[in-house]
Amino acid sequence: MSSTITKLNAPLTQAFDFQPSGEQLTPTPTLNTLTQQLAGFDTLTSALEYAAEGITGYNFYDARGNLRSILPYRLLKQNARTLAQRLFGFNLPRGSRVAIIADTSPEFVELFFACRYAGLVPFAMPIPVNLGSHAIYVQQLRGMLESSQASIAVANLDYVGFLEEASAGVANIHWVGTPGGLNDFPALDVELQSNHPDETAYLQFTSGSTKTPRGVIITERALMCNLQGIVRNGLEIKPEDRSASWLPFYHDMGLVGLVLAPMVTQISVDYLATRDFAIRPLQWLRLISRNRCTIAFSQPFGLKLCAMRVRESDLKDLDLSCWRAAGIGAEMIRPETLRIFAEKFSSAGFNENAFLPCYGLAESTLAVTFSKLGKGCKGIHVDSKTLIDKRVVTRLQADGRKQNEFVNCGRPLPGHVVKIVDEDGNQLSEMMVGSVLVQGDSVMTGYFNNPEETDKALKSGNWLDTGDIGFLFEGDLFITGRRTDVIIVNGRNIRAQDIEELAEQQPEVRSREASAFGVNDEDGTTTIVLVIECRLTAVTERQSLITRLQQLVYMAFGVNCVVELVPPHTLPRTSSGKLSRFAARQGYIQRTNLTGQLTFVESADR
């Protein structure tokens, strides 16, 4: 690299001196004045009390890569405690829920921690996917507010209008407003009580559903257990580490992995808002290069976006040699996506051994397994026919046979166990494909105010049914797909049922005559397919229905979909008369002669 770039990429090691508003901001440094402690805390607030003694913290950048605000941990502690005193003015019972639309901003983080200081339970709500989804977005917010029985709802000026509309008529809501509006309330002189490890730390909403949102209950104990496993065993955090993230704060990987994990290890982190990353993904890589960030996570589609947008001229100004842990998770990991990224950015110093595949889900706080640091992405090639027909993993022996390649997601964190079971709950041996179950101290206590869904997810012995399909090989976990009817597109969980119900609202579509599922292309891209049994014969009417359905799906979920109209009685049904999405998917692939790999394994009676 040139001497100019070396100077630009010099580590942030200077002593921190907070600049008043209006002066040139300096990011919080990488090297701390505080002896590093790796998550050895009982609660979030006790972790923040310690982190606040140092000089590291959060840094927020705009779409052009300019530093727009900084929030050192000492200032976060001060602001959160003051804000907690204002929250006491609402006279809410301990454990009351506070809804926060989670923009990538200091205000969200301050309010999140203020809730914990005040003994309240925060939860993050998403920002709108696109501008055309107003009604659906409001409906989604309303579902979360009702499900959580929230008492307070907060959003910045960009989104507070949506929140006011969603909260109209919702029981239990005491106040709706902006973070600035909370400053109008006096800070009461009330002694802050310590939190207990068995108290609920926050709720994490998991589904993109507008009808049945599920709030995962995460206790302080579960959170601190998971964070300790992540930072000590998964990442082996060191004093010289620094993070960079574009992940949304309402996503479990964004919140737990890139907001809370840096704080409990007292390292600095640099943020680019998710919407800014979508427009200018290379700004994330420039942050890593400029600030010498060592840890950064992404969903696979984020890496794909960077590889698509980069030009040769961009590479000469990047130095990614500092990036030692390139975490990958939140959706199926396609080895080809990682290979393309590594090839594109090798000239910028990226080392493919930095790839760190992992597996997790919100119901287990975040992380379940980590692959080995510094070993890169390791895959296994298996025979596709044996996998689908017999649910047995056979390593490929002959060239020319159809194959699948699955990524090694590593071994469980300490204190956690993963097992694979069949449809009857019997544990399977290695190399046999079945449902992935997890047990450990990070597992949720249940879904808030939703005993029915809790009973479905938590089995005897507190085993969590993840809804994923996979197998174990030499103790390592490999994920092959989803059993439950959730389609993961660009890291977003979209329920097939929600798409089907959206279609059935159209006058031309009868109940139980729509089937939605995901199909994986050879490059790993997931496409949503909606198959409709249709009685329309006129070409114009059929095209009108197709176009309308595609627009509705995009407006509701922010994703494109393929709509196929088929004759009545085409969609396959189970012996009980229910539609089989798995069989519908197989039929669609046969009709369209798709050659994409089948990685979705599901029991025949679904």
Q: pLDDT value at position 22?
A: 45
Q: pLDDT value at position 23?
A: 59
d(CA 600, CA 427) in angstroms, rounded, equals 20
Q: Which tens digits make up the pLDDT trace of 143-184? A: 999 999 999 999 999 999 999 999 999 999 999 999 999 988
Residue with tokens 């509701």: 556
Q: Which tens digits make up the pLDDT trace of 372-385? A: 999 999 988 887 77
For the chain, which domains are there?
76-219 (3.40.50.980), 486-592 (3.30.300.30)
d(CA 297, CA 258) in angstroms, rounded, equals 8
CB atoms within 10 A of CB 10: 11
d(CA 390, CA 384) in angstroms, rounded, equals 10
Q: pLDDT value at position 577?
A: 54
In the chain, what are the helix, strand and coil shares in percent, each to the nearest 5? Answer: 35, 25, 40
What is the helix (H) or strand (E) element at residue 219, kind and residue range? strand 215-219
Q: pLDDT value at position 380?
A: 86
- Give the residue-averaged pLDDT of 387-395: 77
Q: pLDDT value at position 596?
A: 37
Q: What is the DSSP letter of 171?
A: T
Cα 585 off chain centre by: 26
Confidence band (pLDDT; 50, 70, 90) for 556? Answer: confident
Cα 59 off chain centre by: 21
Encoding tokens for residue 526?
């997931």
**Residues of the chain above pLDDT 70, percent:** 89
Q: How far is CA 461 from CA 227, 425, 440, 467, 558, in A?
A: 23, 12, 10, 17, 38
Q: pLDDT value at position 578?
A: 64
- HSE-up of residue 507 (Cα within 13 Å, Cβ side): 2
Q: pLDDT value at position 11?
A: 40
Q: Which tens digits make up the pLDDT trace of 255-302? A: 999 999 999 999 999 999 999 998 999 999 999 999 999 999 998 888
Task: Give Cβ neighbours of residue 253 (< 8 Å, ≥ 6 apart).
Answer: 247, 297, 299, 329, 330, 360, 366
Task: Give Cβ neighbours of residue 322 (< 8 Å, ≥ 6 apart).
Answer: 9, 288, 289, 292, 293, 294, 349
Confidence band (pLDDT; 50, 70, 90) for 388? Answer: low
d(CA 390, CA 157) in angstroms, rounded, equals 55
Average pLDDT across the chain, whole number: 87
Q: Greater confidence, 216 or 510?
A: 216
- Give the residue-averaged pLDDT of 482-504: 77
Q: pLDDT value at position 133?
A: 63
When mean pLDDT is compared over 150-159, 311-320, 424-433, the highest value belongs to 150-159
Q: Which of 275, 280, 335 is nearest to 309 (CA)?
A: 280
Say how many Å lie between the first and final Cα of the chain, rounded.
56
Number of residues that make up the chain? 606
**Is the per-residue pLDDT at 595 higher than 50?**
no
**Is the per-residue pLDDT at 422 higher than 70?**
yes
**Residues of the chain above pLDDT 90, percent:** 63
Q: Greater confidence, 606 or 368?
A: 368
Task: Give Cβ neighbours of residue 389 (< 8 Å, ≥ 6 apart).
Answer: none
d(CA 376, CA 327) in angstroms, rounded, equals 10
- Phi first, then psi, for residue 295 (nearest 5°) are -130, 125
The model's pTM is 0.81
- Give the residue-averaged pLDDT of 594-605: 35
Q: How far is CA 464 from CA 115, 278, 486, in A?
A: 28, 33, 17
Q: How far is CA 445 from CA 64, 65, 117, in A?
A: 42, 40, 22
Confidence band (pLDDT; 50, 70, 90) for 24? Answer: confident
d(CA 473, CA 496) in angstroms, rounded, equals 30
- Give the residue-averaged pLDDT of 333-345: 90
Range with lowest mean pLDDT among 66-80, 365-379, 431-445, 493-507 = 493-507
**Is the per-residue pLDDT at 456 higher than 80?**
yes
**Is the per-residue pLDDT at 53 higher than 60?**
yes
Q: Which of 90, 62, 55 is nearest to 76 (CA)?
A: 55
Q: Greater confidence, 272 or 423?
A: 272
Encoding tokens for residue 428?
């399977």
Q: Which tens digits make up the pLDDT trace of 438-449? A: 999 999 999 999
